Amino acid sequence: MNNLKKVLFLIAALVIPSLVYIFLRGFGDNKFEIPVYYSNGVPIEGCESDTNKVHLVKFKDYHLQGSQLFYFPQWINDAEFYRQCKRIKNKPYQVVFTAISDSLLQHELGNTLVVSDKQQLYDIANCALVLGQEAAVSKPIYNQLVLVDAQMRIRGYYNGNNLEDMDRLDVELDILSKEKNE
Arithmetic mean of pLDDT, 30-38: 78
Quick one: pLDDT band at residue 157, thresholds 50, 70, 90? very high
Chain CA centroid to CA 150, Å: 12
Q: Phi-psi region for residue 38, left (φ > 0), alpha (ψ -120 to 50) or beta?
A: left
Arithmetic mean of pLDDT, 71-99: 85
Arithmetic mean of pLDDT, 162-178: 90
**C-alpha span between 132 and 152 (Å, rounded):** 18
DSSP per residue over 129-180, as a string? S---SSS---S--TTEEEEE-TTS-EEEEEETT-HHHHHHHHHHHHHHHHHH
Arithmetic mean of pLDDT, 143-166: 88
Alpha-carbon dihedral 52, 54, 59, 64, rounded to 10 degrees? -150
Looking at residue 60, what is its pLDDT? 53
Arithmetic mean of pLDDT, 142-152: 85
Which residues have a Cβ under 8 Å from the Cβ of 49 and sit 6 or more positions away?
A: 41, 55, 57, 127
% of the chain exceeding 90 in pLDDT: 9
| All domains in the chain, ordered by first residue | 57-181 (3.40.30.10)
Least confidently predicted of 10-19, 48-57, 102-111? 48-57
pTM (two decimals):
0.75
Q: Phi-psi region for residue 64, left (φ > 0), alpha (ψ -120 to 50) or beta?
A: beta
Arithmetic mean of pLDDT, 33-52: 69
Quick one: pLDDT band at residue 50, thresholds 50, 70, 90? low
